[in-house]
Structures are given as structure tokens and as C-alpha cells.
């Protein structure tokens, strides 16, 4: 089987796993493009992307351009004479870049395209209560996540699985799919296919802070899936008033029961032994949570931190 020269473009851990899989295959990673180093956290410590760390540990040339249209960067990349570019969890690419290699540029996306195009496919698959999802490799074009499909693979979403667990399983599965795609391209054994035309495809728009607020007026199952789909990141939240203070409360997991009640959705019942929030058609019981300014903990430890439960209410 022919060995392809590959330039890899990506940033987070999800991408690093694919880079590692390619590097350990018979294909040759001749260069890596990733985000510029950033200062963050206390003391503004410089952080490098997982992709850069892996590349440097394995003596793979690293490029970190501020702008992808930078002529010097494009010229340096062209000198690598790569057969194909592989993109995993990167940013929008200009045409001059993705059309550079002879075989083109393909991307790994964590959904069964055309469903869940966008920045948060794993989160929305869980939020919407899907029973399955998957990964797709496809050629990049000028539209977001709309290029011709190369390979797809399905994966079952387990009962009560959160986005973090699904992310990790898709990360491993996707890395193998990337190598299979390279093998198929090297052997000229993959027939690219246009994405099916769907009248109302499910979308996976970027998630902003305001999108993570829990709507307690929803059915219990909807609330449960929303919390799972946001866990562990960016995390679903609600707001508590504790005395005169208003604090955000992230909820990472819980359980629910369907029950007839006359309480207004969002009504909180809290005591030393119980934390219940009423939904449209039942009750939700948070199990793992994090109060603003505190560490993440189980509900028992959370409740042990309070003495006066009468001063705690839930705000819309």
C-alpha cells in the first residue's frame, strides 16, 4: 500500500488522537498546523495545544500561523509537497489552503453528516436524545461541513451517557476512521459521494454561555438529556439565591422521575437529605454539581455545606 505524505491540521485532544494514529501508521506526517500558543489561567502561563505537544515530542515540524493566508506560511507548507491534508477540530480554512495538496483536504467530523453540521455535534446528539451517532470523513469545500463524504461509521449512544463519555469513544473511533480513509485514498479504493439532501437537517451550532441555562419548564426527560449533553463541558447551569447572594449552579448529572404535582416548574425543595427540582411533568434530582466559587462535588457533600436551607431558592 502506498504511503501518503500528510500535513495534519488540528488543536485539541480529540485531534491529537487522530494525529497519533496517523503517525503510528505507515503514512508519513510531514508537518502539523495548530493554533498559536496562548497565555491563560493564573499567572498567564503559556499553554501549547495537545497537537503541538505531540508533534514536538515526535520531531514533526510545527506551524502556528496567526493568519492562514500568510504568504510565507503557505510557501513553507507548499515545500512539504504533501499528498493530502487531514483536518480534525481546526478552524475555517481558505480555499488557497485546502486546495493545495494534489489529493485535496479531508476533515473528520463527529456526526453522521448531513446531520449535526457545526461546532458541537456531540453535545447536540446527546441533548436531542439520539440513540446513535457516528463520525464522517469528507472532502472540505467552501461550505461548512458540506463536502463529499468519504467514509462514515456509526456508534451507539449508551443510556444516560454524557457528552464527555461519547466524545472519548468517538475520538478513538474517529482516529481509526481517519487512517482507514488515508488507506483508501492511497489505494484509490474510496468513491466520494455527495451528502444526501435533507430538507431539515439537524444542526449543531456553537454553544454560548446563554445556551447552557436549564429550562425547568421542560419535560423531565428533556431536562435530563440537556444536562447530560452539556456535561462535563460547558456544563448546564441554573441560578440559586442564597440569602442575599445570587450564584450560578452547574449540574453535571442527576436522575428524574415522572410524577403528577401542582408545583410550578423550577420549584426547589431542599433539605439536609434532599435536593429536588420540579419540572413540567416530574422531579429532577441533581447528583453531581458545582456552586459558583466552589469545587465540583456530589450532592451529599453539597448539602452538608449548608445550615439554613430556608434561605435557598431557585431563580428562573
What pLDDT digit, counting tens, does each position of 246-300 carry? 999 999 999 999 999 999 999 999 999 899 999 999 999 999 999 999 999 999 9
Domains of the chain: 5-186 (3.40.50.12230), 209-315 (3.10.25.10)
Q: How many CB atoms lie within 10 A of CB 224?
A: 20
The pTM assigned to this predicted structure is 0.94
Strand 245-258 and strand 236-242: the pairing is: antiparallel
Q: What is the mean pLDDT of the chain?
A: 95
Average pLDDT over residues 100-105: 97
Report the distance separating Cα 312 and Cα 242, nearest Å. 5
Residues near 49 by Cβ (< 8 Å), separated by ≥ 6?
11, 12, 34, 35, 37
Average pLDDT, stretch 204-224?
97
What is the mean predicted confidence (pLDDT) over 181-199? 96
Q: How many CA atoms lie within 13 A of 235 on its CB side?
A: 16
Using pLDDT thresholds of 50, 70 and 90, give the confidence band for residue 307. Answer: confident
Is 80 exceeded by the pLDDT of residue 111?
A: yes
Note the pLDDT of residue 144. 87
Classify burial at 275, counting beta carbons within 10 Å of its beta carbon; exposed 0-12, middle 13-18, buried 19 or more: buried
The mean pLDDT value for 170-194 works out to: 97
DSSP 215: -
Q: Which pLDDT belongs to residue 191?
A: 95
Amino acid at each position: 500500500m502506498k504511503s501518503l505524505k500528510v500535513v495534519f491540521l488540528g488543536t485539541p485532544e480529540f485531534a491529537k488522537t487522530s494525529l497519533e494514529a496517523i503517525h503510528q501508521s505507515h503514512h508519513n506526517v510531514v508537518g502539523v498546523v495548530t493554533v498559536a500558543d496562548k497565555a491563560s489561567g493564573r499567572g498567564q502561563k503559556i499553554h501549547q495545544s495537545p497537537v503541538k505537544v505531540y508533534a514536538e515530542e515526535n520531531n514533526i515540524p510545527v506551524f502556528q500561523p496567526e493568519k492562514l493566508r500568510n504568504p510565507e506560511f503557505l510557501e513553507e507548507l507548499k515545500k512539504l509537497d504533501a499528498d493530502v491534508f487531514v483536518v480534525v477540530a481546526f478552524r475555517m480554512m481558505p480555499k488557497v489552503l485546502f486546495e493545495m495538496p494534489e489529493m485535496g483536504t479531508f476533515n473528520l467530523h463527529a456526526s453522521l453528516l448531513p446531520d449535526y453540521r457545526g461546532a458541537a455535534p456531540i453535545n447536540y446528539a446527546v441533548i436531542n436524545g439520539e440513540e446513535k451517532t457516528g463520525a464522517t470523513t469528507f472532502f472540505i469545500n467552501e461550505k461548512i461541513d458540506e463536502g463529499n463524504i468519504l467514509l462514515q461509521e456509526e456508534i451507539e449512544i449508551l443510556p444516560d451517557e454524557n457528552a464527555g463519555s461519547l466524545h472519548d469513544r468517538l475520538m478513538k473511533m474517529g482516529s481509526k476512521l481517519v487512517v482507514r480513509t488515508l488507506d483508501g485514498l492511497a489505494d484509490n479504493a474510496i468513491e466520494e459521494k455527495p451528502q444526501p439532501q435533507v430538507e431539515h437537517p439537524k444542526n449543531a451550532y456553537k454553544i454560548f454561555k446563554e445556551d447552557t441555562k436549564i429550562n425547568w419548564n421542560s419535560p423531565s426527560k428533556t431536562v435530563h438529556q440537556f444536562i447530560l449533553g452539556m456535561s462535563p463541558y460547558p456544563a448546564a447551569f441554573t441560578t440559586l439565591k442564597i440569602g442575599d447572594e445570587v450564584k450560578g449552579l452547574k449540574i453535571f448529572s442527576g436522575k428524574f422521575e415522572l410524577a403528577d404535582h401542582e408545583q410550578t416548574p423550577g420549584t426547589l425543595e431542599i433539605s439536609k437529605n434532599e435536593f429536588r427540582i420540579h419540572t413540567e411533568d416530574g422531579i429532577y434530582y441533581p447528583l453531581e454539581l458545582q456552586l459558583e466559587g466552589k469545587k465540583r462535588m456530589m450532592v451529599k457533600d453539597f448539602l452538608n455545606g449548608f445550615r439554613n436551607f430556608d434561605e435557598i431558592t431557585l431563580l428562573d
